[in-house]
Amino acid sequence: KLSNSISTSPHVCSLTNAFAVACCADFSAMPDQIHLANLQLRCHIGVPDEERAAPQLLHADVIIHSRLPFEAMRDDIAQTIDYAAVATRLEQLAAAKPRRLIETLAADLAACVLAEFAAAAVEITLKKRILPQTDHVAVHLFRQAGTNA
């Protein structure tokens, strides 16, 4: 629900729930984004040993916030983030070792994007089909380059 008292200060912008929400009047403050939707990740994950024993298929929505506006890239692939390389690297990372929590895997994926690719920020939504009464459970995080959280 939007309030009539939304700040127009450029310092009051935030990103939440996989959407860039501009709290400022200038929408140009929102970073350009690259989306990887439903990236399939095979991994050994789960709290019980039996659950981790067999590989599971998780799905990730990855939103990469670009350091450059798209028009500044001047149609030069070297100026953008290679989303095929990101997808391949995240698949490798997910498969590299077993984990107990999807929260841990989501944090590892985000750290990888920030460390290995020229992203200003990244959002990860990681989905796991585990509860029979739900379509999936999911965790979501946002991480920004140059910060520890």
128 carries an active-site annotation: yes
Average pLDDT over residues 24-38: 76
Average pLDDT over the chain reads 85
* Helix/strand/coil percent split, the chain, to 5: 30, 30, 40
pLDDT band at 17 (very low <50, low <70, confident <90, very high): very low
Q: Which of 120, 94, 121, 122 is nearest to 108 (CA)?
A: 94
More confident residue, 64 or 11: 64
Give the whole-angstrom CA distance, residue 12 versus residue 83: 29
Token match 């929505």: residue?
Answer: 61
Beta-bridge mates of residue 62? 36, 124
For residue 7, pLDDT over 60 is answered with no
Average pLDDT over residues 34-50: 97
Residue 28: what pLDDT? 57
Catalytic residue (choose from 1, 97, 127, 128):
128
Give the whole-angstrom CA distance, residue 51 versus residue 45: 7
Q: Which of 113, 108, 85, 110 is nearest to 97 (CA)?
A: 108
More confident residue, 55 or 13: 55
- Measured in whole angstroms, the distance separating CA 71 from the mean position of its chain's CA atoms is 23
The H-or-E segment that residue 127 falls in is strand 119-128
pLDDT digits (tens, 9 = 90+) for 44-85: 999 999 999 999 999 999 999 999 999 999 999 999 999 999
For residue 3, pLDDT over 60 is answered with no
Residue 75: what pLDDT? 93
